[in-house]
Structure 1
Amino acid sequence: MVHEKDLALLVDLYELAMAQAYWAEGMHDTAVFSLFFRELPKNRNFVLACGQQHVATVIETLKFSREHIKRLEGLDRFQPEFLEWLGKFRFSGHIRAVPEGTPLFPQEPLLEIEAPIAEAQILESLVMNYVHLESVLASKAVRVRLAAGERPVVDFGMRRMHGVDAAHRSVRAFRLAGLAGTSNVLAGLDYGLTVSGTMAHSFVQAYPDEMDAFKVYARLYPGTTLLVDTYDTRRAVRRIADWLKRDSGARVSAIRLDSGDLEAEARDCRAILDEAGLQDVRIMASGGLDEYRISRLVAAGVPIDGFGVGTAIGASNDAPALELAYKLTEYGGLPRMKNSSGKQSFPGGKQVFRQYDRDGRMKGDVIGGREEVFDGDPLLRPVMKHGVVLVSAVDSLDQQVEYAAASIRSLPAAYLALEPAEPFPVVISAYLRALQADALKRIRG
């Protein structure tokens, strides 16, 4: 398990090797690195950017301890003078980032880092890891939430996530995406998302009669949700309905279906509950759900009141990776760019201007140079100056959740659908295109 005090060593080797080369060559000029993606993941109409402000708080305290330096000495790759420099490392640069929960499109920077080149280079993998995980999971979770409409979605994904760090940080992304709760106790408490859960089949199996299990659970947790599909779903619900009619003190708020034909079982269970006068007992569903299954259930009018989703959001199993790029766009005041086939980038520091129609719907973005001005709201905002987080510029998590919800609502309807929409209108400014041409001319001599 990675401890926060050790995050300075969470680098790829080449980042330290390049930092030493910059140091050895006296290359201490200011660089600008931009974090962006070139293409949307499969079936995504936007990426919900998450983690880009969060990581600034990590960078602020990043340092190489004596133990870190000693371990690096053991690699026999670094000069003692460089390791001495590394031991004094504190990030001294600036970071501009879009707000947490901002819908973004290809080529739009999630953040830009401006710092002495070695400092900015060392941060590459750490920054990408933080932003990648949270953005990928938030982008999947928001699709599931949109498919469910007004029905709540609860995160059940911890057990199938790729490590405990992902299981913890994912809940922050899920809250920004609009999920209603999580089964993850630690992360739910840490990130202010309602902790929610029912029971496992093992609890029912541990009792000689499933009704004994149900009654014990309802007595211990009044208003609980009972998992009813361990043996025979319909029989279990009939028995629960008969018990609740006879025992006026028993309180059960919902039943949960976790397998089988969810549509048929939900309809039959709803009929059984309604016939018993238990219209207030809701039906929750889980078990291999994703946005497509949920959408079909909702469209068919199946009487399911909420969903628990695990693997689909925990692993973003249809599109688990976002091809993030962390590219040098300026060094020593001169534009820099990559020009390899299919991976050409735009040089220079940037700003993204988001434009809206009269109804407050997003209608297009302009990516311009850092000093350019266009109509619309500039998305990249300073979150760190001279290595210090600007507390007044970083919203609280509650504010970030509100911003994310408003931003998602402002998307045109086509981009909220599960089907791929036409590419969102993103214009690259004439200045950036000219800067790219000039940079290419200089590179080619």
Structure 2
Amino acid sequence: MSTAASSREARLDPSVFDLPVEKMREGYYTDAYFNHVRAALLADGRHPQVLMQVFQRKHAMLGGMDEAIAILRLCSHDWDALTVHALHDGDRIEPWETVMTIEGDYTLFAHLETVYLGVLARRTLISTNTARVLEAAGGKPIIFMPARHDHHRVQTGDGYAAFVAGAMLGAEIGVTSDAQASWWGGRGVGTVPHALIAAYGGDTALAATKFAAWAPEDFHITVLVDFENDSVRTALEVARALGPRLWGVRLDTSNQLVDRSLWQEMGDFDPRGVNERLVRKVRAALDAEGFDQVRIVVSGGFSVEKIEEFELRGVPVDAYGVGSSLIRGENDFTADIVVSDGRTTAKVGRQLRPNARLERVV
């Protein structure tokens, strides 16, 4: 089984995350009021022994826990003086379920709340969104493609959060940059892009041939076929040119365009973008010429809802490329001190919520 699936036995080593330890320890990334609280307590000589409880409010797949633990381990002022219990990356969690508790002198870790909550929020959002897409796809491979839609610094953790979702569901997921794959030792995957096609004067078959001449034998060569907005013709040209070297074709027609193959069929369906009829026409054309082994990958505006519709209708898609929808939404976490110096001190509505699923972090 994958690294993520075996995480019950071993969490990711803290060194993997390449944390800016000194800056985190100084409170550089922390909301100022937490730094002020810590400073005030230290000035008063007060070191309350607390139990901090962390939760969120949705049905979700947990992500970022190993990273959050690494922050506490490396950036608190005395990890050995803290007692931490936590769930694992990939765990399914319920609304209000306690996912982590931190016990010890509050001044040792007060400056880290902003950081570990932010990590949990971001990674859980990605894991949950990816899990929903994988479930909608019914086990078909997913290509995780949001790298171009967000800052490069989020790639490593986001890629791992997506990988965790795939491992938990036993589904194949590819990522598009080496950064996204780095925490589990993978590598980025990709198709023959529009840029290479343009570099060869808009000749998709020629660009694909040149790419295949360069590519290692183990590459799954997949070619975008919408450059001239004539996906059926282009898919056949590429299949003829590459033969058995072609793993798949990727349909990526803009939602503002209608593929040339559909121009005479409009009227009873929405012909824009990558739609059911376009996929079926490409599949039929490939099969008719004996290219039934060539897979069809679709991308461009695919969400959980659109994938569910395709699967319900049995559209012959072999893999989905999903981008910006995987990083949209929110999955906020909250941390509360619920016990202080042995007394219950939770604010109204935030009582202690023990969770037998939590495991001691050593």
| Paired position in structure 2 for 1:129 | 118
Q: Structure 2: give runs of 5+ residues left out of the alignment.
A: 1-17, 167-171, 254-272
- Per-residue CA distance 1:168-191 (angstroms, 9 max, x = gap): 210111011115110021221332
| 1:203 pairs with 2:203 | no
Which deviations, in whole Å up to 9, do the C-alpha atoms of 1:134-171 show, x marking residues without a partner?
Answer: 1111111100010001211111111112x223222101
CA distance in structure 2 between the aligned counterparts of 1:29 and 1:321, rounded to whole angstroms: 32
Q: How many Å separate the matches in 2 of 1:345 and 1:226?
A: 53
Q: CA RMSD in A?
A: 1.9
1:42-53 pair list within 5 angstroms: 46-53=59-66
Query: How far does residue 193 in structure 1 lie from its aligned partner after superposition?
Result: 4.3
Give the whole-Å Cα distance in 1 for the aligned partners of 2:82 and 2:240: 67
1:101 deviation in Å? 1.1
Counterpart residue number, 1:276: 289
Name the structure 1 match of 2:298.
285
Deviations 1:43-95 (A, max 9, x none): xxx211122233212322226xxxxxxxxxxxxxxxxxxxxxxxxx3343111
Deviation track 1:12-70 (CA, whole Å, cap 9, x = no partner) reads 11111111111122221311111112x32xxxxx211122233212322226xxxxxxx
Q: CA deviation at 1:114?
A: 0.5
Out of 38, 41, 60, which is 1:22 matched to?
A: 41
CA apart distance, 1:289: 0.9
**Mapping of 1:134-213 within 5 angstroms?**
134-161=123-150, 163-178=151-166, 180-193=173-186, 195-208=188-201, 209-213=203-207
Which residue of structure 1 aligns with residue 259 of structure 2? none
Aligned to 2:336, the other structure's residue is in SS state strand
The one-letter code sitting in structure 2 at the alignment partner of 1:279 is: D
Structure 1 gaps of 5+ residues are 41-45, 64-88, 353-377, 384-389, 391-445
Deviation string for 1:246-301 (max 9, x for gaps)? xx6x5111101112233122111111111111111111111111111111111111
* CA drift at 1:119: 1.9
Q: Which amino acid aligns with 1:124?
A: E
Greater shift in the superposed pair: 11-20 or 24-33: 24-33
How many Å apart are 1:380 and its aligned residue?
0.6
How many residue pairs align between the two structures? 313
In structure 2, the CA distance between the partners of 1:142 and 1:194, relative to structure 1 (3 Å rule), is farther
Superposed, 1:10-89 pairs within 5 Å as: 10-37=29-56, 39-40=57-58, 46-62=59-75, 89=77
Of the two, which has the highest radius of gyration? 1
> What residue number does 2:11 align with?
none
Say if 1:50 and 1:173, in contact at 8 Å, map to a contact too.
yes
Q: Structure 1's 155 and 5: CA in aligned 2 closer, same or farther, altered over 3 A?
A: farther
Structure 1 residue 5 displacement after superposition: 4.1
Q: Is the 8 A contact 1:198 1:225 kept in 2?
A: yes
- Are 2:332 and 1:323 aligned? yes
Matches within 5 A, 1:416-427: none
Q: 1:351 aligns to what SS in structure 2?
A: coil
One-letter code aligned to 2:23? D
Q: Check the 8 A contact 2:24/2:112 in 1, yes or no.
A: no
- How much identity, in percent, do the aligned residues show? 24
Counterpart of 1:226 in 2: which secondary structure?
Answer: strand
Deviation at 1:194, TM superposition (A): 5.2
Identify which of 212, 235, 238 aligns with 1:218.
Answer: 212
Structure 1 match to 2:354: 351
User: Which amino acid letter does the alignment assign opposite residue 243 of structure 1?
Assistant: A
TM-score normalised by structure 2 residue count: 0.81
Aligned to 1:338: 347
Query: Which residue of structure 2 aligns with residue 104 of structure 1?
Result: 93
Cα drift, residue 2 of structure 1: 7.9
Q: What is the CA–CA distance in structure 2 between the aligned matches of 1:238 and 1:254, rounded to whole Å?
A: 11
Determine the C-alpha separation between the residues in 2 that align with 1:172 and 1:323: 19
Aligned AA (1:345): R
Alignment of 1:253-264 (within 5 A): 253-259=247-253, 260-264=273-277
Q: Is the 8 A contact 2:72 2:109 kept in 1?
A: no
User: Is this contact kept in 2: 1:19–1:121, CA < 8 A?
Assistant: yes
Q: Which consecutive segments of 4 or more residues in structure 1 shift more than 4 A?
A: none
Q: State the match for 1:416 in structure 2.
A: none
Give how far 1:240 is off: 2.5
Instruction: Tell me the residue number matched to 1:365.
Output: none
Residues of 2 paired with 1:220 and 1:22: CA distance? 62
C-alpha distance 181-4 of structure 1, shift in aligned 2 (>3 A): farther
Distance 2:133 2:187 in 1: 18
- Report the Cα distance in structure 2 between the residues aligned to 1:226 and 1:62, rounded to whole angstroms: 46
**How many angstroms apart in 2 are the aligned matches of 1:107 and 1:172?**
25
Is the 2:177–2:187 Cα contact (8 Å) retained in structure 1?
no
Q: 1:192 to 1:55 in 2, by over 3 A?
A: same
Q: Distance in 1 between matches of 2:163 and 2:176?
A: 13
The 10-residue stretch of structure 1 (186-195 or 292-301) with the greater mean CA deviation from structure 2: 186-195
- Is 1:181–1:193's contact at 8 Å kept on the other side of the alignment? no
- Asked if structure 2 preserves the Cα contact closer than 8 Å seen for 1:257 and 1:284, the reply is yes
Q: 2: distance between equivalents of 1:6 and 1:199?
A: 41
